[in-house]
Amino acid sequence: MPLLFAMTYRAMTDQMHDRLQELGREPLRPAHGYVFRYLIETPEAVTIVELASRLDVTKQAASKTVAELVGWGYIERCPHPTDRRAQVLALTARGRDYVRLADQIWTEVEQYWAGIVGQDRIEAIRQDLSAYLDSRYGDERVKMRPVW
């Protein structure tokens, strides 16, 4: 059963990457996606250390990933308003654009699947998986790290 999850996840990300390729966009890795997602969802200023704890990697690893994304122009570091050691991370316009596109493609993939089994099944699955995760982790934040 878990194998099935792994294969499905893999297949879906592959499908997404294919689509990005068609559109001539560089397919960032899931780790990058997670960074984007966190930046978008978090209204407050985000620092490297926070990001690291959220992704459940060391701050060094987070720092490296951020450096990449900065280099590619997807996010930028701004000075922290009150703490002169810290940096605030923020998506650039280019970054927000990428996220918008990615969301759209994810929706396409989901609809592709919905076309096979029906939208209601997908909602059901969403609930059943969430129920499992809630039961295992409760309110505790689920880490979303490599699956391998």
Partner DNA sequence: CCTAGATGGTCAACTTGGTTGACCACATCG
Partner DNA sequence: CGATGTGGTCAACCAAGTTGACCATCTAGG
Q: Which is nearer to a copy of itself, 42 or 130 (CB)?
A: 130
**Among a copy of itself, DNA, none, what does residue 9 contact (CB within 5–8 Å per kind)?**
a copy of itself
Which of the residues 5 through 34 are near a copy of itself (CB under 8 A)?
5-13, 15-16, 29-31
User: Phi and psi (nearest 5°) for 77?
Assistant: -100, 125
Beta bridge partners of 48: none
- Between CA 68 and CA 62 the distance in angstroms is 10
Residue selected from 24, 41, 71, 85 as contacting DNA according to rule CB under 7 A: 85
- Between CA 95 and CA 110 the distance in angstroms is 23
Beta bridge partners of 79: 87
Q: Dump the DSSP string for 121-147.
A: HHHHHHHHHHHHHHHHHTTSPPP----
Residue selected from 10, 29, 100, 143 as contacting DNA according to rule CB under 7 A: 29
Under rule CB under 8 A, residue 42 binds a copy of itself: no
**Among DNA, a copy of itself, none, what does residue 2 contact (CB within 5–8 Å per kind)?**
a copy of itself
User: Phi and psi (nearest 5°) for 103?
Assistant: -60, -45
With contacts defined by CB under 7 A, name the span among 15-23, 50-58, 90-98, 124-132 that binds DNA. Answer: 50-58
- Between CA 133 and CA 5 the distance in angstroms is 14
Residues that bind a copy of itself (CB under 8 A): 1-13, 15-16, 29-31, 37, 106, 109-110, 113, 116-117, 121-122, 124-133, 135-137, 142-148
Residues that bind DNA (CB under 7 A): 29, 31, 47-50, 56-61, 63-67, 77, 80, 82-87, 146, 148
